[in-house]
């Protein structure tokens, strides 16, 4: 695959809702990358990882986002009666004694987590704006590689809840950014009231457990980013590029 001009790259894009907001708000060309598009998008394959890193180094990526899969890092596995726990706070890279099928899940998760770190570190080096998203309490944030990225200069973190953007579920979520201020997302975390009501809607949060009337898992329904969230995040990217252009212009006056 060859890119002929710089693009915004949404990696692990899912529904691609952020990419659509980037195109709408920033008027940038967007490339969505997700395993749902076929095996050639499989980022457990080294050649695909190298392709993206090459694009970044060649100036073909102007900015990007990583929605790294949290499957094996999820604390939902801690609940009784659900799928087995694969990680712990003390062993975020995987528990010992797992079944072979679960070992594979951990290996895939670790592979994608390490690639995520490589992308973020390269973005830091190249001064490219990039973001990473995962659930607020995902054990991805406890992995040594991710913690190392968090300690770097020009890295920010911001916690939000989806209910701040109009959903009926809370869904606490963390964003990490490199070379990108997240000021527009500040204050978008619901602390709930004493009665357990949403501070943004005044209503009780819908728990993300079980299925809806059509048999679809509520966690699946809640996966896409709310449109209002993607719009604000897109404005963060747009404002950062405009600030860089203004700074460059000022240096030449």
Is residue 214 predicted with pLDDT exceeding 90?
A: no
Report pLDDT digits (tens) over 48-81: 999 999 999 999 999 999 999 999 999 988 887 7
Closest CA to 51 of 89, 85, 11, 78: 11
Report pLDDT digits (tens) over 89-133: 999 999 999 999 999 999 999 999 999 999 999 999 999 999 999
Q: Is the pTM of the predicted complex or chain greater than 0.85?
A: yes
Tell me what the pLDDT averaged over the chain comes to.
94
Is residue 135 predicted with pLDDT exceeding 80?
A: yes
Confidence of residue 5 (pLDDT cuts 50, 70, 90): confident
Is residue 176 predicted with pLDDT exceeding 90?
A: yes
């Amino acid at each position: 695959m060859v890119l002929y001009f710089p693009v915004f790259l949404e990696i692990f894009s899912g529904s691609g809702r952020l990419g659509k907001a980037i195109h709408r708000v920033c008027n940038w060309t967007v490339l969505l990358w997700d395993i749902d598009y076929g095996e050639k998008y499989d980022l457990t394959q080294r050649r695909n990882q190298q392709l993206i890193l090459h694009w970044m180094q060649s100036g073909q990526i102007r900015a990007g986002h990583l929605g790294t899969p949290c499957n094996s890092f999820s604390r939902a596995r801690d609940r009784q009666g659900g799928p087995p726990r694969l990680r712990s706070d003390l062993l975020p890279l995987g528990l010992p004694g797992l079944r072979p099928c679960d070992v594979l899940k951990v290996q895939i998760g670790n592979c994608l987590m390490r690639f995520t770190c490589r992308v973020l570190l390269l973005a830091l080096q190249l001064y490219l704006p990039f973001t990473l998203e995962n659930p607020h309490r995902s054990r991805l944030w406890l992995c040594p590689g991710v913690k190392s990225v968090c300690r770097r200069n020009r890295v920010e973190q911001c916690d939000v809840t989806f209910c701040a953007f109009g959903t009926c579920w809370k869904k606490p979520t963390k964003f990490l950014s490199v070379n990108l201020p997240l000021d527009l997302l500040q204050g978008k975390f619901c602390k709930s009231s004493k009665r357990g009501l949403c501070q943004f809607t005044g209503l009780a949060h819908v728990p993300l457990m079980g299925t809806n009337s059509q048999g679809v898992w509520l966690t699946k329904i809640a996966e896409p980013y709310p449109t209002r969230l993607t719009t604000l995040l897109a404005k963060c990217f747009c404002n950062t590029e405009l600030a860089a252009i203004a700074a460059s212009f000022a240096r030449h006056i």
